[in-house]
Structure 1
């Protein structure tokens, strides 16, 4: 099994549902923080996207001014250009040393040979990557995403969130047609407003949760266990603390929660310190899990063995007739490591832990300084310029 911290959306402080109460339709929920609207502010309802408060960040941080942002875009272009040059015709990327800031990461795939158009996949983590700590998407990121979409590139939300918590984010950034990876790779969805629910699951990986829940329950008996039921919410052994889930929660017995195959298991110990929690999880030994990582809080996601965002994206790329050489991935969490290593260009946010940065090809600024937007703008600038120059050479 693979364990990772979950990315938990938060409800608005006022007007939100209480524990166990259901939100309305995804496009009718109340906002978290300041009101948020979709790309058409005159017609779109407010969204509850949840905050990215799982990591420490500077309260009241301000975005970069225009000059500083332009410099950041230019610097990210300088970091990407050598990676493009290294993956010239016939080039194969091999293992490299761990990354320093802006340096090469642990890329072992076929190199990075992107071209603007539908073959280019841009996989984006949600919390701490496109959403800030208040659950907002910046104007710069909206603009960068719109610019990228106009080239025909496919933006894929790739998150540890549930389907229910991911859909408002995808819709908010303009992704209503396309693809989405949820539950850390256990679920892959096709988005299409013409479908009955606006989406359908095209790949679902499940496992029997009985052994892992029983083992972790012995180590942490006071923990809250939950399993996701796609499009419905979570079955839980107790209600989660207020604000940690926007999905519906239904309290069930231990026997019921282990009675069916699931896409993931969540363990939460809200009263336990992270250090103690980590030690108790490790004490369960390799017979319970083969690998795991623990984030900023006492929260774990247990996924099917061998499943990650990378495996889901690899399957999606194959379905679309492309491969890792045409994929850009941006993330900030330990559940993004495999994705960053697999993608042709893996980008770690500036707020990421060192283990995540070491797995990336380049490092950008944090979410509150529009690090993701800067990479996307730099990429479009580079590829547009190179395409234009190539066309000019052909005319000579």
Structure 2
């Protein structure tokens, strides 16, 4: 099979556990790009965070952020945006404020969160590492609902960090009954992303593929999280990182090494070295366009 698009998750895939991008990953991306293969990012992170990684990897193709709700290039020209309606956002926040949780509205230009203090260290690893504080405002307010009453926001995504799993499970069930306008995506036992209905990493990746004239069977997707499972299952070649949970590995066609063992670079060397450059395949009429 000939692959023409490589889609990479960021956290736990491209980035090591220390949050850094290893030079082997940069070299791997450059290697496949030289073969004419398009590289994109597919992440739950905000656009500013994804943009920093895209710049570091010299990716000029539009990339996917906000769990699939926002597709744009480093030039900040979105080709696809879906948002949670202002009224729905307000109702969702009012519901969540009755539960012990950290709530974060993630806009492409700013984030807005409540001041709830989590007992675990999830927040420090997620909120404070997102984007560049110089260009990406991160504001904390005492009451999100009061703020939204005066200044409505229509975000592509809402992140919720719970104190206990039962609250997360109950919230998912409640939202399924209350709202048809949103979907929930569980990242782990304490983290939930709320997105516009129909939004997912795979829906965005398949949309981008169509825009580029690339079939689903020509896509390689690499990820490590529960929110990567559908993308890994539907891509032509779905790859799970060695550090991924069992459910992710079970969904994959191939399992590479962990993020600290340079899993992306290892996968690229094993698979793409066997594939001829796209331009050569076109000259040979193996690829028609």
TM-score, scaled to structure 2: 0.80
Within 5 Å, which residues of 2 pair with 1:1-396? 84=1, 113-114=2-3, 120-175=4-59, 177-191=60-74, 198-208=75-85, 209-218=89-98, 220=99, 222-230=100-108, 232-238=109-115, 241-242=123-124, 244-245=127-128, 246=130, 247-252=136-141, 253-257=144-148, 259-269=152-162, 272-273=163-164, 275-282=165-172, 284=174, 286-288=176-178, 292-296=184-188, 298-384=190-276
Instruction: Quote how far apart the aligned CAs of 1:372 are.
Output: 1.5
RMSD: 2.9
C-alpha change, 1:217 and 1:288, in structure 2 (3 Å) is: farther
C-alpha change, 1:388 and 1:180, in structure 2 (3 Å) is: closer
Figure out how many residues of one structure are paired with residues of the other and give that number: 264
Indicate if the aligned counterparts of 2:232 and 2:239 stay in contact, CA closer than 8 A.
Answer: yes
C-alpha change, 1:285 and 1:303, in structure 2 (3 Å) is: closer
SS where residue 122 of structure 1 aligns?
A: strand
Q: Highest relative contact order (Cα 8 Å, sep 6+), 1 or 2?
A: 1
SS where residue 176 of structure 2 aligns?
A: coil
State the 4+ residue runs in structure 1 displaced beyond 4 angstroms. 239-243, 288-293
CA distance in 2, matches of 1:223, 1:381: 47
CA distance in 2, matches of 1:160, 1:279: 20
CA distance in 1, matches of 2:116, 2:96: 18
C-alpha change, 1:285 and 1:227, in structure 2 (3 Å) is: closer
Indicate if the aligned counterparts of 2:187 and 2:193 stay in contact, CA closer than 8 A.
Answer: no
Structure 2: state its 5+ residue gaps.
118-122, 131-135
TM-score, scaled to structure 1: 0.60
Instruction: Quote how far apart the aligned CAs of 1:140 are.
Output: 2.2
Max Rg structure: 1
Higher helix share: 2
